Structure 1
Amino acid sequence: MKIFYGVQGTGNGHVTRARVMAKELYAAGYEVDFQFTGRPVEKYFDMEIFNGYQCKPGLTFNSDKGQVNYLKTALEAQPIRFIRDINTLDLSAYDLVISDFEPVTAWAARKQKKPVLGIGHQYAFNHHIPRAGSGLIVDQIMKHFAPADIGIGLHWHHFGQPILPPIIDTPDFPTAIVGNKIIVYLPFEDTNEVIRLLCPFENFEFHIYSPVVVESKYPHVSCKPLSRDGFQKDLYDCVGIISNAGFELASESLQLGKKILAKPLHAQMEQISNAAALEQLGYGHTMFNMDTTVIENWLHNHHAVRVTYPNIARVIVQWIKNGMQPMDQDFIEQVWDTVEVLQVRH
């Protein structure tokens, strides 16, 4: 089987998920061509697994100082190029088209009357899950941005809906934790402001990963360039993360039993909803502005949650091999029955 796989490149969560899926698809013997849209080609990193991938501008949401900037988004859109990319993407040679909320692939497939399998967190919003910051315009964007004929939605909990757990690597639980080590990933915030807010907490060690590296004059605060391997090594033995409310990083953190402090991107429904879900489930804490009081209270809170998720990428690939029959209630329940929620104290 030959597969075309489109991936939304805005942020790193979709790309991280695609890496896990790529490994399982290759292991199953599938030939896969990947397309990424949503950021300049030079901004991608650690892409070796994707074997000759291609990039297009696509569509993306621009942010400024921690919130979505809809005016900037509209001004920087390239509608003529977007339509041309849809019209020139030939999918005739492919047996299956997959989209992780990637609009060029989804709309090209629709134009060519090829069914699309949507895999990603955004497809969970087709069901009754925690939702906040929504509205008519946002709902229409979510519905039409990257439409799929079959949508496999992913979330941290099933909420009684036909959705699956997150697609993440499933490493062993770390045996040694550095009790004062905190990972910070706030790419949509001003890094200098983040350093200023964290510098008073001298009993903690902060590792900030940022698209733009800023020199820190504080020995307990370091700023590092984006690196998949470096980030994973630091995440593995840290005690907690301070991040925006993206889905994939929180999923990895829950799998590893890290405490979470999430600051959702303003005016971004998905992240605001993720923050609501973390609070509702008791899986993490949230702040809607960079607040030193909230940060201090969280730093001294020793409680975390570990959720043991199965290898969902392998589950989905096996489902594809078995003919992609509708996922009935028994199928969904069997998957979730393997998930265990554990309380952790660091």
Structure 2
Amino acid sequence: MKILYGIQGTGNGHTTRARIMASALAAEGADVDWVFSGRAPGDYFDMEVFGDYQCFRGLTFVTRHGRVLYPQTFLQSHLSRLYRDIRSLDVSGYDLLLNDFEPITAWAAKRAGLRSIGLSHQAAFQHAIPKRGENTFVRWFMRYFAPVDQAIGLHWHHFNQSILPPLVEPSHYPNECQKGECLVYLPFAHLDDFLPQLKAFPDTRFYVYQQVPEPRNEGHIHIRPFSREGFQADLHRCEGVICSAGFELPSEAIQLGKKLLVQPVIGQMEQQSNALALSQLGYGAVAQVLSEKAIGDWLAMPRQRPVAYPNVAQALARWIVQENAQASGFEALRNELWQAVPEPEVNRYDTSTRPNPTPGAAS
């Protein structure tokens, strides 16, 4: 099977998910070409698994100090270039497009009549899941930013919907819990936005990953440039994680049983909704403002038990390659995967409304 795979390059979660699928698809013998957009080519790192991949400018949100800037996003969109890239991308010779919220390959496949499957967290928002900040524009954007024939959403719980569990990267690091050590990853904020708050807790060692040229230490705060191996080593060793309310890193933290504090990006419906879901499921605490009080309250909380998600990537790759991604087999795949996921614990972080999740496969 010859597959074109389009990846949204904004943040690192989409790329992490792509690495997981790359290994699973290779194990099934699929021939995959990769396209990335939404990030400057020089900002990607640890990309060897994707071989001779292509990069396009694409579309991405402009953020500053943890807030989406919609006027600047529109002004920097370069829609004419996006249109040219869509028209110039040759998708002939492929049997299938797999797409993780990437607009150029999605629209090129649509123009050419190439069958397409979306595999993303964003696709889950086409279903009845916890949402905050949704409106008509957001619904339109989620559906048509990267349109596909079949959209497969991923989430931390099924919510009785036709979605799948997260893809979590296998790791060779032991899952430890060094008390007083925390990983911090806030890619949409500046260091000055949160370092003063972290300095108020000298008994906690914070390992902060940001786009910096070289590592440096400021007492108990250890600032590190992006590094997949270093990041994974610190993630597996730490007691807790402070991060934005994306999807992939919280998924890893949940599976490892790390204490989780998220700060959702202001004005970003997906992150606000993720924060709501984490709170309702009892998987993490939420701080709209990352204050000293919010951090202190969270540090005093107990750890979460690990949630063992199944090997979703392996099951998906097998369904795509061996069963030719037949829709008739998807529900059986979905039920099989959710049966392996334990029911969420009683909520320890929030006493507001919760979903009514049922254990095992959804009815």
Asked whether the two chains share a fold, i.e. TM above 0.5, the reply is yes
Query: Is 1:323 paired with 2:308?
Result: no
Gaps of 5+ in 2: 349-363
CA RMSD of superposed structures (Å): 1.8
Q: How does 1:248-259 map to 2 (within 5 A)?
A: 248-259=248-259
Instruction: Indicate conservation of the 8 Å contact 1:155/1:164, yes or no.
Output: yes
Query: What is the one-letter code of the residue matched to 2:47?
Result: M
**2:49 matched to which residue of 1?**
49
Instruction: Indicate conservation of the 8 Å contact 1:35/1:53, yes or no.
Output: yes
User: Secondary structure at the residue paired with 1:306?
Assistant: coil
Whole-angstrom CA distance in 2 between matches of 1:176 and 1:244: 22
Superposed displacement of residue 114, structure 1: 1.2
**1:310 matched to which residue of 2?**
310
Instruction: Indicate conservation of the 8 Å contact 2:282/2:344, yes or no.
Output: no
Whole-angstrom CA distance in 2 between matches of 1:70 and 1:270: 15
Out of 324, 330, 342, the residue aligned to residue 340 of structure 1 is 342
Query: What is the one-letter code of the residue matched to 1:270?
Result: E
Query: Is 1:296 paired with 2:296?
Result: yes
Instruction: Indicate conservation of the 8 Å contact 1:245/1:274, yes or no.
Output: yes
Query: TM-score normalized by structure 1?
Result: 0.96
Whole-angstrom CA distance in 2 between matches of 1:219 and 1:91: 52
After superposition, the Cα gap between the structure-2 partners of 1:189 and 1:267, relative to the gap in structure 1 and judged at 3 Å, is: same
Whole-angstrom CA distance in 1 between matches of 2:150 and 2:33: 20
**2:70 matched to which residue of 1?**
70
Instruction: Indicate conservation of the 8 Å contact 1:244/1:263, yes or no.
Output: yes
Instruction: Indicate conservation of the 8 Å contact 1:305/1:342, yes or no.
Output: no
Instruction: Indicate conservation of the 8 Å contact 1:308/1:341, yes or no.
Output: no
**2:135 matched to which residue of 1?**
135
Superposed displacement of residue 331, structure 1: 3.2
Whole-angstrom CA distance in 2 between matches of 1:9 and 1:22: 15
Instruction: Indicate conservation of the 8 Å contact 1:174/1:256, yes or no.
Output: no
Tell which deviates more after alignment, 278-287 or 186-195: 186-195
Instruction: Indicate conservation of the 8 Å contact 1:185/1:209, yes or no.
Output: yes
Query: What is the one-letter code of the residue matched to 2:232?
Result: Q
Whole-angstrom CA distance in 2 between matches of 1:304 and 1:31: 39
Gaps of 5+ in 1: none
Instruction: Indicate conservation of the 8 Å contact 2:106/2:147, yes or no.
Output: yes
Q: How does 1:108-127 map to 2 (within 5 A)?
A: 108-127=108-127
Q: How does 1:170-249 map to 2 (within 5 A)?
A: 170-171=170-171, 174=174, 176-212=176-212, 218-249=218-249
Whole-angstrom CA distance in 1 between matches of 2:285 and 2:297: 10
After superposition, the Cα gap between the structure-2 partners of 1:162 and 1:179, relative to the gap in structure 1 and judged at 3 Å, is: same
Whole-angstrom CA distance in 1 between matches of 2:305 and 2:115: 38
**1:102 matched to which residue of 2?**
102
Query: What is the one-letter code of the residue matched to 2:287?
Result: M
Tell which deviates more after alignment, 312-321 or 324-333: 324-333
Whole-angstrom CA distance in 2 between matches of 1:148 and 1:22: 20
Superposed displacement of residue 173, structure 1: 8.5
Whole-angstrom CA distance in 2 between matches of 1:24 and 1:88: 29
Whole-angstrom CA distance in 2 between matches of 1:163 and 1:342: 17
Post-superposition Cα deviations, 1:266-290, rounded to whole Å, max 9, x if no partner, equal: 1001000000000010000001112
Whole-angstrom CA distance in 2 between matches of 1:287 and 1:37: 30
Instruction: Indicate conservation of the 8 Å contact 2:245/2:274, yes or no.
Output: yes
User: Secondary structure at the residue paired with 1:208?
Assistant: strand
Superposed displacement of residue 335, structure 1: 1.1
User: Secondary structure at the residue paired with 1:119?
Assistant: strand
